[in-house]
């Protein structure tokens, strides 16, 4: 393999979000956001425009568009993605600079794609037109390194490609766009009352006692009517709830606003990492009280057991594509603090087999065990029965797979979508044998708080948005 990757260093601008804002409304504009402008922020931001090809899966059909050509296929979406990425490139020049991405696929996978991968026969019908995957193939991208204070234009192909020239103009701040305001035009409506949640909670407990499962992630949904520019809402979200895996994706008919704290799968030089989150406690403005809440979480037998269940599940999932004996757990029950919550986070690693690649690993582990439960297949059936509606993007994945085989993806939690004039978001939590219904109900509200605050701020009667409060804390990792 020849190294055909081209790298050009440009003038650094710390406000990547302002640069992206000029093009955020364009179809297939992608922003993977490390929130580096927040206290304790990450390192790498990735901006992409105008993909060479796009992949969209709905039902059993994946549409591939490139140039003036449209192809429809019933093949496995990961096989289609692998073919679209083409032969793996040697990106030695980019690797020397530590660049995490050299061009490739950026987009999202919806939770229901797991039905395809696991051959699940579920009771809830999935509309034939419901999107399950939206991915662009990008020859050229902007990478902003906030640690080294450097911006790189990176990619493959013809140096005279107009898409490359346009990205340079974005990086130089020479583009602007007139933006429409964003407004929530009605109150958010939830699919679940406290009584309804309690009934579902009791059903999960019965399944656990019967031996069907050990843990089930049960989620609640909110929807609100909206109008205007979803980018304005994302700009506010990244202030209110800065997260290491922020993202704004402008895909056909749907904008994605994500403030996810959780890495799903990363691959670099055949080394694999996943970082499941299980265990949540509220933050408190008083430092002493906040430390006490964190210490209580770190010593919670229930939360430690819940986390360990998912670690074991992910060890098994990684083992489907990793070398025998390579699976390790270098971090167990690490306490990490975010803008609104404390979490327990573990790290599971492995080494990818020579006959496996990033799409194969994604397929083998999808959807993430931390947002289904254990055992995965049975809990997905129970989730379908009790939630009664497709999850869509929620609990799917967002991220990239590079032409060089590198991958980094997040779990699509703390994530909202805007489509057909409606804002849609969900929050959930893992239920185990000794869970308490009221405590779990409160935890869901805690996880949804940032989105509900966002809805309130942009409500028809809301005043100007306020600045984020003091003490916002972020995780160390990001999309790199």
DSSP 215-267: EEEEEEEEEEEEEE-HHHHHHHHHHHS--TEEEEEEETTEEEEEEE--EEEEE
Q: How much of the chain, in percent, has pLDDT values that exceed 90?
A: 72
| pTM for this model (two decimals) | 0.92
Dihedral, 78, 84, 90, 95 alpha carbons, nearest 10: -70
**How high is the pLDDT of residue 469?**
32
Active site residues: 262, 278
Better-scored residue on pLDDT, 157 or 416: 416
- Quick one: 459 exposed, middle or buried, by C-beta within 10 A (0-12, 13-18, 19+)? middle
Note whether residue 146 is domain-resident.
yes
**Number of H-type helices and E-type strands within the chain:** 12, 25
d(CA 249, CA 279): 28
Note whether residue 467 is domain-resident.
no
In this structure, are residues 354 and 322 in contact, taking their beta carbons and an 8 Å threshold?
Answer: no
Q: Which of 89-93, 299-303, 449-453 has the highest mean pLDDT?
A: 449-453
Q: Which domain holds residue 243?
A: 6-457
Dihedral, 20, 22, 27, 30 alpha carbons, nearest 10: 0
Q: Tell whether the model's pLDDT for residue 1 goes beyond 60.
A: no
d(CA 50, CA 92): 25
CATH of the domain at 87: 3.60.120.10
Q: Tell whether the model's pLDDT for residue 342 goes beyond 90.
A: no
Confidence of residue 468 (pLDDT cuts 50, 70, 90): very low
What's the average model confidence in pLDDT over 319-340?
A: 91
Q: Tell whether the model's pLDDT for residue 6 goes beyond 60.
A: yes
Phi, psi of 39 (to 5 degrees): -55, 130
**How high is the pLDDT of residue 175?**
83
Q: Which of 105-119, 136-150, 245-259, 275-289 has the lowest mean pLDDT?
A: 275-289
**How high is the pLDDT of residue 39?**
54
Which H/E stretch holds residue 347? strand 341-351
What's the average model confidence in pLDDT over 15-42?
A: 87
**How high is the pLDDT of residue 293?**
86
**How high is the pLDDT of residue 443?**
92
**How high is the pLDDT of residue 41?**
60
Q: Diameter of the chain by CA atoms?
A: 64
d(CA 478, CA 480): 5
The strand ranges marked E within 53-139 are 53-58, 61-66, 69-73, 104-109, 131-138
What's the average model confidence in pLDDT over 443-469?
A: 73
Note whether residue 357 is domain-resident.
yes
d(CA 204, CA 248): 34
- For residue 184, list its beta bridge partners: 226, 459
d(CA 377, CA 355): 25
Q: Tell whether the model's pLDDT for residue 280 goes beyond 90.
A: no
Q: Which residues contact 108 (CB under 8 A, 6 or more apart)?
A: 133, 134, 135, 249, 251, 256, 393, 396, 397, 398, 412
Q: Tell whether the model's pLDDT for residue 285 goes beyond 90.
A: no
Interstrand relation of 328-337 and 341-351 (parallel, antiparallel or unpaired): antiparallel
Note whether residue 476 is domain-resident.
no
The alpha-helical segments, DSSP class H, found in 319-432 are 358-365, 376-387
For the stretch 166-200, pLDDT in tens is 999 999 988 887 788 999 999 999 999 999 999 99
Confidence of residue 91 (pLDDT cuts 50, 70, 90): confident
* Mean pLDDT value across the chain: 90
Note whether residue 471 is domain-resident.
no
Q: Count Cβ atoms below 10 Å from residue 314 Cβ, excluding itself.
A: 27
What's the average model confidence in pLDDT over 269-290?
A: 89
Structure tokens at 146: 């906030």
Q: Count Cβ atoms below 10 Å from residue 434 Cβ, excluding itself.
A: 11
Note whether residue 462 is domain-resident.
no
Reading phi first (left if > 0) and then psi (alpha if -120 to 50, else beta), residue 451 is in alpha
**How high is the pLDDT of residue 461?**
57
**How high is the pLDDT of residue 2?**
55
What's the average model confidence in pLDDT over 118-123?
A: 78
Give residue for tokens 């409606």: 422
What's the average model confidence in pLDDT over 131-144?
A: 96
- For residue 55, list its beta bridge partners: 64, 135
Note whether residue 77 is domain-resident.
yes
d(CA 373, CA 368): 9
Confidence of residue 76 (pLDDT cuts 50, 70, 90): very high
Q: Which of 109-123, 159-173, 214-228 has the highest mean pLDDT?
A: 214-228
Q: Which of 4-13, 119-128, 204-213, 224-233 has the lowest mean pLDDT?
A: 119-128
Q: How many domains does the chain have?
A: 1
Q: Which of 121-125, 320-324, 338-342 has the highest mean pLDDT?
A: 320-324
Note whether residue 222 is domain-resident.
yes
């Amino acid at each position: 393999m020849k190294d055909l990757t081209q790298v050009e260093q440009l003038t650094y601008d710390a406000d990547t979000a302002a640069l992206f804002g000029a093009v955020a409304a364009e179809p297939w504009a992608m922003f993977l956001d490390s929130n580096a402008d927040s206290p304790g922020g990450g390192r790498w931001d990735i901006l992409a425009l105008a993909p060479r090809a796009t992949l969209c899966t709905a039902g059993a059909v994946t549409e591939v568009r490139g140039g003036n050509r449209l192809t429809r296929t019933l093949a496995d979406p990961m096989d289609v993605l692998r073919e679209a990425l083409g032969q793996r490139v040697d990106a030695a020049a980019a690797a020397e600079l530590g660049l995490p991405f050299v061009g490739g696929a950026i987009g999202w996978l919806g939770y229901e794609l797991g039905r395809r991968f696991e051959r699940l026969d579920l009771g809830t019908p999935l509309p034939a037109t419901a999107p399950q995957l939206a991915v662009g193939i990008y020859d050229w991208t902007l990478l902003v390194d906030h640690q080294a204070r450097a911006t790189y234009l990176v990619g493959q192909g013809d140096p005279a490609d107009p898409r490359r020239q346009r990205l340079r103009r974005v990086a130089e701040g020479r583009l602007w766009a007139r933006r429409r305001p964003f407004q929530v035009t009605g109150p958010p409506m939830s699919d679940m009352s406290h009584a309804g949640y309690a009934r579902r909670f009791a059903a999960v407990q019965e399944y656990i006692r019967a031996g069907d499962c050990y843990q089930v992630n049960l989620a609640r949904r909110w929807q609100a009517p909206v109008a205007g520019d979803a980018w304005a809402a994302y700009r506010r979200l990244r202030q209110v709830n800065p997260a290491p895996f922020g993202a704004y994706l402008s895909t056909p008919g749907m904008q994605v606003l994500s403030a996810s704290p959780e890495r799903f799968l990363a691959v670099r030089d055949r080394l694999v990492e996943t970082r499941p989150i299980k265990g949540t406690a509220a933050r408190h403005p008083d430092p002493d009280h906040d430390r006490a809440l964190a210490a209580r979480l770190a010593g919670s037998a229930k939360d430690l057991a819940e986390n360990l269940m998912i670690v074991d599940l992910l060890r098994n999932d990684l083992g489907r594509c990793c070398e025998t004996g390579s699976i390790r757990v270098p971090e167990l029950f690490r306490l990490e603090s975010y803008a609104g919550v404390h979490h327990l986070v573990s790290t599971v690693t492995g080494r990818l087999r020579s006959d496996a690649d990033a799409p194969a690993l994604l397929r083998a582990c999808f959807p993430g065990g931390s947002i289904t439960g254990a055992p995965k297949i049975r809990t997905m059936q129970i989730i379908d029965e009790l939630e009664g509606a497709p999850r869509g993007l929620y609990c799917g994945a967002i991220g990239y797979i590079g032409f060089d085989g590198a991958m980094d993806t997040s779990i699509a939690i703390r994530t909202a979508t805007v489509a057909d004039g409606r804002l849609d978001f969900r929050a959930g939590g893992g239920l185990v044998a000794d869970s308490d219904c009221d405590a779990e109900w409160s935890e869901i509200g805690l996880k949804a708080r940032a989105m509900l605050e966002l809805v309130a701020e942009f409500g028809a009667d809301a005043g100007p948005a306020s600045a984020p409060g003091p003490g916002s804390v972020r995780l160390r990792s990001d999309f790199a």
